Amino acid sequence: MINKELINPRSIVVVGGSNNVHKPGGRLVRNLLDGKYKGELRVVNARETEVQGVKSYPDVRDIPETELAIIAIPGPSCPEVVDILAKEKNVKAFIVISAGFGEETPEGGVLEDRMVKSATDAGASLLGPNCIGLMNNYHHSVFTLPVPDFHPDGVDFISSSGGTALFIIESALTKGLRFASVWSVGNSKQIGVEDVLEYMDRNFDPVLDSKIKMLYIESIKQPDKLLFHASSLIRKGCKIAAIKAGSTDSGKRAASSHTGAIANSDSAVEALFRKAGIVRCFSREELTTVASIFTLKEVKGKNCAIITHAGGPAVMLADALSKGRLNVPPLSGPAAEELKSKLYPGAAVGNPIDILGTGTPEHLAIAIDYCENRFEEIDLMVVIFGSPGLVKLYDTYEVLHKKMEECTKPIFPILPSIVTAGPEVQSFIRKGHVNFSDEVTLGTALSRVLNTPCPAGNDIQLYGVDIPEIRRIIDQLPENGYLLPRQVRTLLQAANIPLVPEFTSAKQEEVLEFARQVKYPVVAKVVGPVHKSDIGGVALNIRCEEHLIFEFERMMRLPEVTAVMVQPMLKGRELFLGGKYEHPFGHVVLCGLGGIFVEVLKDVSYGLAALSYEEAFSMIRSLRGYPIIKGTRGQKGINEQEYADIIVRFSTLLRFAPEIKEVDLNPLIATENGIFAVDARVRIEK
């Protein structure tokens, strides 16, 4: 519940304001005054008649009606104060700085609930408790430093943690990143990160509002709301970068499948962000670097030119870009030779373009112009330019400033000499630019931005999936646990997932007859134990009847074995597909290459059911082993469309069967005749 009184109040009262700026109440008043708050400001302090030049009242009952109250008093006193202000003073917005509530004790949680109820019953917004406050262009209602300058084209920043928010602001300011608003939601009892995003989405003004959002999230309580409003904002032209901290394995039981061993709540976060189009970050520096990238012109390709006067940083940047699947294409031909002739002898133009340590501002301008106008294959430029302290760089950075404004291709400045050329760098930043002082951090962040897919569509792909049959099968299952092979088979058939022919029996002659029909070689597997291979319950490449008889008799003697399953032996590329239910996110879908790639390398990508075709292709192509899927070194690739079809139908199955808690299709075998599920394991909980 966010209202105009919280965003732009005409009057504010600081309950607990003081003359001591080293205390939260005192710093709150000082920040409001320094920020030139234009409305009526009041203070409640029983021992003062004036606080920092502002009139002070002895009791909250004595103040005039006020729109926003900032509470900075001991926690146990807060519920009564909020109740009085809401009922008697028509306060419609509260920022509760005070701590000592549900984050500490159950008793504190009771106080917190009372306070939130008073505000909600009065139709008032309540931010916090246990937060640093709210800052925007209208009021600086925080008790901390630094307080950045605010600009409409800056970044909207929403943080679960007040302390972390300050460190992120510090990181941003060193880069020249500006802010439009800063929200600290604290315990998020009424207003959480998802609620702020909802407000920004529902009230979005494409002309006046910031189009860049930074999030620091410690708990995702409403993933559907986060997904809906984040993807909606991105479709409206916004860009969102986020850190989700504190992800742990939500399941404490021992994993009984590959999916269970790999997927966890962090996988669900990864899948949610991918579906929403949020760029996921893992550190403060990465978050503010990604947000700084968002302030520059949009990158429309992955071919980068590096312009430098120092070889080492350019090499490290090229390595970082390469790891992130961006390209630093070689530059050659007449245009490259022409550029080389205009630089000092010894300069290199093959990419990186090294204009040498003695290169002039004019040389920098020429190199940028060639990348902009002559090298059509180039999509973006990175300029690395520092100083050994021998010359001033004002002229060089002025050239860079002008070229960044003139060029249609984005230019990313790496100005590493923030000490030696500190004044020049600050002058450059004051012109409205950002600076990336570290090339590897930029390269990594840039790859995250360019490899993050667009928000997925909301439509669920139903074609080919028999939803009523899936529900009939699930509803008729009497018990929890792993399904029998025949139950798994009927479920996958309802989802139109291709299956390898198979036959299960405890009778030897029936098994032999099936093997004769499908022709040798065949595969035999035990039925009963969950982990077949652990007890020697799988036999591959059985080429004759005598071998099958031997394996059948051996397997039937193994513990807990009730029957033997026989399948034709397929040859092809092993693939993996799995799903796991992660509350409250829903089903996480995993895909990848099978065998060692999933068991040892954990080379999988994640999606959140139900998946669109765009998501399925993005998941496939984000795998480290994707070149194998595509076909490499003379080996034929697999049919990506067919793999995507299976992934999408599989995700639709999970979307309509929440009782499925874990499922493995391992392996899927990609043959010349198609992709088939060879083995599957499904665990349900009703």
pLDDT tens digit sequence for 611-657: 999 999 999 999 999 999 998 877 888 999 999 999 999 999 999 99
pLDDT grade for 255, boundaries at 50, 70 and 90:
very low
Tens digits of per-residue pLDDT, 410-437?
A: 999 999 999 999 999 999 999 999 999 9
Mean pLDDT for the stretch of residues 569-576: 92
Instruction: For residue 481, give the nearest of 680, 259, 683, 686 by alpha carbon.
Output: 683
Strands 304-308 and 353-354: parallel
Strands 50-51 and 11-15: unpaired
Instruction: Specify the pLDDT at position 251.
Output: 38
Mean pLDDT for the stretch of residues 182-202: 97
DSSP codes, 249-273: ----SPP-SHHHHH--HHHHHHHHH
Chain length of the chain: 686
pTM of the model: 0.90
CATH number of 304-433: 3.40.50.261
Instruction: Specify the pLDDT at position 533.
Output: 77
Q: Which CATH superfamily is domain 501-568 in?
A: ATP-grasp fold, A domain (3.30.1490.20)
Residue 443 half-sphere exposure toward CB, CA atoms < 13 A: 25
CATH number of 4-133: 3.40.50.720
* CATH class in words for 148-294: alpha beta
Tens digits of per-residue pLDDT, 438-483?
A: 999 999 999 999 999 999 988 888 989 999 999 999 999 877 899 9
Alpha carbon distance 107, 100 (integer Å): 9
Instruction: Specify the pLDDT at position 599.
Output: 75
Instruction: Specify the pLDDT at position 684.
Output: 95
Mean pLDDT for the stretch of residues 92-97: 98
pLDDT above 90 covers what percent of the chain? 86
User: Which helix (H) or strand (E) element contains residue 436?
Assistant: none
Residue type, 486: R
Dig out the tokens for 602 from the structure. Answer: 């954990």
* CATH class in words for 458-500+570-686: alpha beta
Distances (CA, A) of 487 to 49, 272, 500, 669: 78, 30, 15, 21
Instruction: Specify the pLDDT at position 230.
Output: 98
Q: Do residues 263 and 590 make contact, with C-beta atoms less than 8 angstroms apart? A: yes
Query: Where are the domain boundaries for CATH 3.30.470.20 in the chain?
Result: 458-500+570-686
Given a cut of 70, whether residue 271 has pLDDT beyond it is yes
Dig out the tokens for 624 from the structure. Answer: 């480290």
Instruction: Specify the pLDDT at position 248.
Output: 53
Instruction: Specify the pLDDT at position 252.
Output: 36
Distances (CA, A) of 57 to 18, 47, 86: 11, 9, 17
- Partners of residue 593 on adjacent β-strands: 575
Instruction: Specify the pLDDT at position 484.
Output: 87
Q: Do residues 221 and 561 make contact, with C-beta atoms less than 8 angstroms apart? A: no
Higher pLDDT, 673 or 284: 284
Instruction: For residue 86, give the nearest of 101, 111, 69 by alpha carbon.
Output: 69
pLDDT grade for 600, boundaries at 50, 70 and 90:
confident
Instruction: Specify the pLDDT at position 247.
Output: 61
Mean pLDDT for the stretch of residues 334-359: 96
Query: Where are the domain boundaries for CATH 3.40.50.261 in the chain?
Result: 148-294, 304-433
Instruction: Specify the pLDDT at position 457.
Output: 86
Instruction: Specify the pLDDT at position 598.
Output: 81
Given a cut of 60, whether residue 408 has pLDDT beyond it is yes
- Residues 6 or more apart from 436 whose CB is under 8 A from it? 175, 289, 292, 412, 413, 414, 415, 442
In the block, residue with structure tokens 């995702």: 220
Mean pLDDT of the chain: 93
Given a cut of 60, whether residue 174 has pLDDT beyond it is yes
Tens digits of per-residue pLDDT, 480-535?
A: 899 988 899 999 999 999 999 999 999 999 999 999 999 999 999 999 887 787 88
pLDDT above 70 covers what percent of the chain? 97
Instruction: For residue 282, give the nearest of 160, 414, 441, 148 by alpha carbon.
Output: 441
Instruction: Specify the pLDDT at position 259.
Output: 61
Alpha carbon distance 10, 630 (integer Å): 61
Q: Can you list the pairs that 295-301 forms with residues at least 24 positions away whose Cβ atoms lie under 8 Å?
A: 295/177, 295/212, 295/434, 296/404, 296/410, 296/411, 296/412, 296/434, 297/408, 297/409, 297/410, 297/411, 298/410, 299/379, 299/380, 299/410, 299/446, 299/449, 299/450, 300/379, 301/379, 301/380
